[in-house]
Amino acid sequence: MRISRSSRRSTAVGVLFCAVVMVMLPDVSAKRFIVGGNMGWTSNVNYTLWAGNQTFYLGDWLYFVYDRNQNDVLEVNKTNYETCNAEHPLHNYTTGAGRDVVPLNVTRDYYFISSKGFCYGGMKLHVHVINLPPPQAATVKSYSSSITAVKNQLIIFMVVAVAAIWDT
């Protein structure tokens, strides 16, 4: 089967376009946190301990999974968080499905409680959201450098493939 020269050039342009897109993809992306891990948003979970083991960055989001008949998700101010006061919440994220998403789109402290009485037993969450560190100050992780290496190898392969297709 013979492929026309214009078809080969179209393929080469497509491969080159894919290579450019791969280079432009960021190495870091937002992270989804299931609040409470395997336990979800429920009573008898130490959310202070859970949150203390996480780092929350701007653009991440929280995913609250809970029994919709027993709990809810309210964002409150710090004073109401400390006193478990559910009156005048800043935001009610409860959708009724028991699967609520909270985008962390501002660098600040977020305070969440359940208004169903479980707050007094510890069903409350404080999250401190920070900016991503600048690339030169970020700690280089092995998987990040592996991704970069794979991207570089893929780009080299694509350039060679485009050159081979172009010359034929």
CATH number at residue 116: 2.60.40.420
Tell me if 160 is assigned to some domain: no
Rounded Cα gap, residues 30 and 57, in angstroms: 8
Tell me if 157 is assigned to some domain: no
| Number of domains comprising the chain | 1
**To which residue do tokens 């970069």 refer?**
148
Lowest mean pLDDT segment, chosen from 54-68, 92-106, 143-157 = 143-157
Q: What domain range is 69 assigned to?
A: 32-130
Tell me if 115 is assigned to some domain: yes
Type of residue numbered 25: L
In this structure, are residues 139 and 11 in contact, taking their beta carbons and an 8 Å threshold?
no
pTM over 0.75: no
Q: What interhelical angle do 142-167 and 5-24 show, nearest 10?
A: 160
Tell me if 84 is assigned to some domain: yes
Rounded Cα gap, residues 63 and 32, in angstroms: 7
φ, ψ of residue 61 to 5 degrees: the values are: -150, 150
**CA angle, 100 then 106 then 111, to 5°:** 55
Tell me if 86 is assigned to some domain: yes
Q: What's the mean per-residue pLDDT of the chain?
A: 81
Looking at residue 130, its pLDDT comes to: 97
**Mean per-residue pLDDT for 12-24?**
45
Tell me if 74 is assigned to some domain: yes
Tell me if 19 is assigned to some domain: no
Tell me if 62 is assigned to some domain: yes
Q: Count of CB atoms within 10 A of residue 118's CB?
A: 21
